[in-house]
Homo-oligomer: A and B are copies of this chain.
């Protein structure tokens, strides 16, 4: 049996559906049944039920967005840092392998090759980078799992959300046997307040940036593949390979959904942060090479976007 924590959440639902599809028996445990945030309760449940694998899809993301985490620091840390540490400890006690839904939002920017040398560029909205991003995307390299997070409490400024997620990866590291699966900006064909494709359509103005993103089902599927293939434990960037600019996403929405709306963009980072956002946002490119090297298949990002928009299901 596989134990699923946070199975009613946006990402947890995708795990539940994918586990069903694969006919893998699982238990979707709610905190009402067992307060798994407390070590004793969780350990007792693990001892009696002996799951072969545990999936932690629980966490605190902030509603409607990460700005809410700045006002709920204790809940953010309890949900995103203390809970994974408790799960790590309980699983280590019984030597149960597990996987944690981490986040790629612990990076900012990308590695850019300019004049033959590679350097980290934290701000991808600079006008001098537009040409590189558009005309020579091969010169934009994503962060790999060996790059230290650069949008975290150790390397700030960062949002409280990102800080809490990066700290969880640190806390988990070296304890028992676990996967840290890094999700980024989930999307799919189901219109939802959590779906990136829905958000882009509903924003008053669009923030033009560059990102690696994760199709929700592709994410859950790749995570389960890693476990079912018995890939080495550790951290994995689980994003659809490649990256997209927000303008590309808007163009795809225009092509497939033909919305009446004319999209407007924030004139600058300064305008965006003054008007629409309180805490800094992570915008970054991740390298999915480690995931792909295990043999796990995942669609390139533009294909996943086109498939989602072609099959779009309004709310």
Number of A residues contacting the other chain (C-beta, 8 Å)?
29
Q: Which chain B residues border A78 with CB–CB below 8 Å?
A: 167, 170-171
CB <8 Å contact, B176 and A40: yes
CB <8 Å contact, B175 and A40: yes
Tell me if A92 is interfacial: C-beta within 8 Å of chain B.
Answer: yes
Per-residue interface assignment for chain A, residues 132 to 171, with 1 indicating a CB less than 8 Å from any chain B CB and 0 otherwise: 0000000000000000000011101000000100110011
Given A85-B85, A90-B89, verify A175-B39 contact (CB < 8 Å).
yes
Q: How often does this chain occur in the complex, in copies?
A: 2
Tell me if A282 is interfacial: C-beta within 8 Å of chain B.
Answer: no
Contact residues of A: prevailing secondary structure: helix
Q: Tell me, rounded to whole Å, the shortest Cβ–Cβ distance linking A213 to chain B.
A: 26
Complexed CA–CA distance, A40 and B174 (Å): 8
Q: Tell me, rounded to whole Å, the shortest Cβ–Cβ distance linking A68 to chain B.
A: 14
CB <8 Å contact, A82 and B171: yes
Complexed CA–CA distance, A89 and B93 (Å): 10
Complexed CA–CA distance, A216 and B184 (Å): 48
Tell me if A38 is interfacial: C-beta within 8 Å of chain B.
Answer: yes
Q: Which chain B residues border A86 with CB–CB below 8 Å?
A: 85, 89
Chain A interfacial positions (CB closer than 8 Å to B)? 38-40, 43, 73-74, 77-78, 81-82, 85-86, 88-90, 92-93, 152-154, 156, 163, 166-167, 170-171, 174-176
Chosen A-B contacts, 23 in total, with CB atoms closer than 8 Å, are A38-B174, A38-B175, A39-B92, A39-B93, A40-B92, A40-B175, A40-B176, A73-B156, A74-B154, A74-B166, A74-B170, A77-B77, A77-B81, A77-B167, A78-B167, A78-B170, A78-B171, A82-B82, A82-B85, A82-B167, A82-B171, A85-B85, A89-B90
The 10 closest A-B pairs by CB, nearest first: A73-B153, A74-B153, A89-B89, A39-B89, A74-B154, A39-B175, A82-B171, A38-B174, A93-B93, A40-B92
